[in-house]
Amino acid sequence: MGKLPFERPVIKKLSAGMPGKFGIKTGVAPVSHIDNVAVTDIINEHGSPVFVISEHTLRKTFMDAKRAFETRYPKVRFAWSYKTNYLNAVCSVFHQEGAWAEVVSGFEYEKALALGVDGQNIIFNGPEKTYPDLVRAIDQGSLIHIDHFDEMYMLNEIAGETAKRPRVAIRVNMDTGVYPVWDRFGFNYENGEAWDAINRIMASGKLDLTGLHTHIGTYMLSADAYRIAASKLAELAVGLSRKYGQGIDYIDIGGGFASKNTLKGAYYSGTDMAPEFDDYAEAISSGLLNSSLKPEELPLLVLETGRALVDDAGYLLATVIANKRLSDGRRATILDAGINLLFTSFWYDHQVNPAQPVSEHTEETTIYGPLCMNIDVVKEASVMPVLKKGDNVVISRVGAYNMTQWMQFITVRPRVIMIDPEMKVHIIRERERLETINSLEKVPGHLINFSL
Ligand SMILES: *Cc1c(COP(=O)(O)O)cnc(C)c1O
């Protein structure tokens, strides 16, 4: 047996911590495998840091969500929110499961088309849709969700010029009892602006009003807010049918379901706090079914769930670069992955587990990333097992927003791999290289030469 590495003895204050529902928190268990593939094998093969996506978890989460809604409402369709994670392999899994595409820019729109999504199955949201973006979306028969009056007038103009009838919905913002109200997108319900938008569309006669849309926020811990949102959109649909004798095809409730991540400063963990898909489905279906909509008028229910479908399927594997003591003696561990890759560490208290068996010793530790920047904190002080240089860690529930909001700062972005349901590992995005970055840059001729 080899000599055991020396571990510095520490004197620890007995701090019981805040007891949660299940008593006082105990140690952090190692996570050695993801979908039966060893974490150390992944790092040896693909480097550190590396993002890992579990295809099995993606599909299972999607099926859970779908089942929750389809058992409660007759017509349901998910539209995958591209900005939450637009890696092509991830989008393709959701499209294989039957999800349409929900995009918020010309870039995302092109990405969906290039992946083979039919234009008619693309929902085009967001405040920035350029004239050429709209011309193309109309041409492809996409569902255009109008954000503001200027966009509506531009659509009228294009419709007048091309003699095509754009398929549109209006985005509605509203008070659902959760504050602050997200009122910067779409038309307000309470002050009558939403009706103003509907009346203008109907008066113009140039646009096909096919749907009503809202997206009330993100990481919404209140399922009841969705019941209110669904019933307010249903009221608009009922009013529309009463005034114009015309129904709508769909009501789109947007995204925003909470994932199981724990918000910073939260008393209970996300796994205890976040509503289940069943809770959201119950709230939304009762909002629609208990409205004055007649059974034969019930529209298709569209959901643009992002975060809650993908967060659990994503992991970031990283390696301990060093340990050090801060000036007051507190322990700090530095990883090779920081907020350049983990944008969500600004909001979440991410779960960080060692990838191998660790010593029994625990100590309050702050986990930093590798950047030369003071705000590069992966996890604020928490009781962690004592990790050593070279140890690997697994950061869980990082599938949402990190692989789209990651920064190319100080270093390049790492590889992303996907583990398929047969436990085969696929590279789905290569690690960037210096040439990846340099291929976009140009140095003017007079700057090429220098001597030092
Ligand atoms: C971001 C966004 C979504 C997805 O939101 P999640 O919080 O990730 O579920 C859905 N619809 C619209 C319009 C969005 O902007």
d(CA 177, CA 190): 12
Residue 260 has pLDDT above 80, yes or no: yes
Instruction: Please tell me the predicted confidence (pLDDT) of residue 158.
Output: 96
- Going by C-alpha positions, the residue among 306, 284, 297 that lies closest to residue 123 is 306
Read off the amino acid at residue 43.
I
Round to the nearest angstrom and report the end-to-end CA distance of the chain: 54
Q: Which two tokens stand for residue 240?
A: 């529309």
Atom of ligand 1 nearest to the CA of 257: 9
384 CA distance to ligand 1 middle (Å): 33
Find residue 335's DSSP bridge partners. Answer: 320
- Band the pLDDT of 87: cuts 50, 70, 90: very high
8-state DSSP, 190: T
What mean pLDDT do residues 411-424 have?
A: 97
Cis peptide bond N-terminal to 370, omega within 30: no
Strand runs labelled E in 306-442: 314-325, 331-335, 351-354, 362-368, 377-385, 392-396, 416-419, 425-429
Instruction: Please tell me the predicted confidence (pLDDT) of residue 157.
Output: 96
Residue 250 has pLDDT above 90, yes or no: yes
400 CA distance to ligand 1 middle (Å): 11
Quote the mean pLDDT of the chain: 94
Which residue has tokens 């529309």?
240
Mutate to test the pocket of ligand 1, among 215, 277, 303, 401 (most ligand atoms within 8 A of CB): 215
Instruction: Please tell me the predicted confidence (pLDDT) of residue 9.
Output: 73
Instruction: Please tell me the predicted confidence (pLDDT) of residue 18.
Output: 55
Of 11-20, 69-78, 110-119, the range with the lowest mean pLDDT is 11-20
Contacts of 23 (CB under 8 A, 6+ apart): none
315 CA distance to ligand 1 middle (Å): 21
Q: Which two tokens stand for residue 224?
A: 């009841």
Instruction: Please tell me the predicted confidence (pLDDT) of residue 261.
Output: 92
Instruction: Please tell me the predicted confidence (pLDDT) of residue 74.
Output: 97
Q: Residue with the nearest Cα to atom 5 of ligand 1?
A: 255
CB 339 within 8 A of CB 84: no
340 CA distance to ligand 1 middle (Å): 22
Instruction: Please tell me the predicted confidence (pLDDT) of residue 232.
Output: 98
172 CA distance to ligand 1 middle (Å): 14
Q: Which two tokens stand for residue 136?
A: 């193309």
CB 377 within 8 A of CB 356: no
What mean pLDDT do residues 171-177 have?
A: 95
Mutate to test the pocket of ligand 1, among 62, 81, 347 (most ligand atoms within 8 A of CB): 81
CB 87 within 8 A of CB 429: yes
Mutate to test the pocket of ligand 1, among 83, 146, 312 (most ligand atoms within 8 A of CB): 83
208 CA distance to ligand 1 middle (Å): 24
d(CA 219, CA 261): 9
Pocket of ligand 1 (CB under 6 A): 81, 83-84, 102, 104, 125, 215, 218, 254-257, 304-307, 400
Atom of ligand 1 nearest to the CA of 305: 9
pLDDT digit string (tens) for 300-314?
A: 999 999 999 999 999
Read off the amino acid at residue 155.
L
Instruction: Please tell me the predicted confidence (pLDDT) of residue 6.
Output: 78
Residue 129 has pLDDT above 90, yes or no: yes
Percent share of the chain, pLDDT over 90: 85
More confident residue, 443 or 268: 443
85 C-beta neighbours (distance < 10 Å), count? 27
Q: Residue with the nearest Cα to atom 3 of ligand 1?
A: 255
89 CA distance to ligand 1 middle (Å): 19
pTM for this prediction:
0.93
- Band the pLDDT of 267: cuts 50, 70, 90: confident
Q: Residue with the nearest Cα to atom 7 of ligand 1?
A: 256
182 CA distance to ligand 1 middle (Å): 12
Contacts of 401 (CB under 8 A, 6+ apart): 83, 84, 85, 307, 343, 344
256 CA distance to ligand 1 middle (Å): 6
Atom of ligand 1 nearest to the CA of 400: 8
Atom of ligand 1 nearest to the CA of 125: 13
82 CA distance to ligand 1 middle (Å): 9
pLDDT digit string (tens) for 25-49?
A: 556 889 999 999 999 999 999 999 9
CA 69 to centroid of chain Cα atoms: 20
More confident residue, 375 or 232: 232
Contacts of 169 (CB under 8 A, 6+ apart): 143, 144, 145, 146, 209, 210, 211, 212, 213, 248, 250, 252
CB 226 within 8 A of CB 284: yes
Per the rule left: phi > 0, alpha: psi between -120 and 50, beta: everything else, 17 is: left
- Measured at the alpha carbon of residue 308, what is the angle toward residues 302 and 310, in degrees to the nearest 5? 105
pLDDT digit string (tens) for 342-380?
A: 999 999 999 999 999 987 788 999 999 999 988 999 999
Q: Which domains can be identified in the chain, with CATH numbers?
A: 33-52+312-433 (2.40.37.10), 55-311 (3.20.20.10)
Instruction: Please report how the helices 224-244 and 277-289 are oriented relative to each other, as an axis angle in degrees rounded to 10.
Output: 30
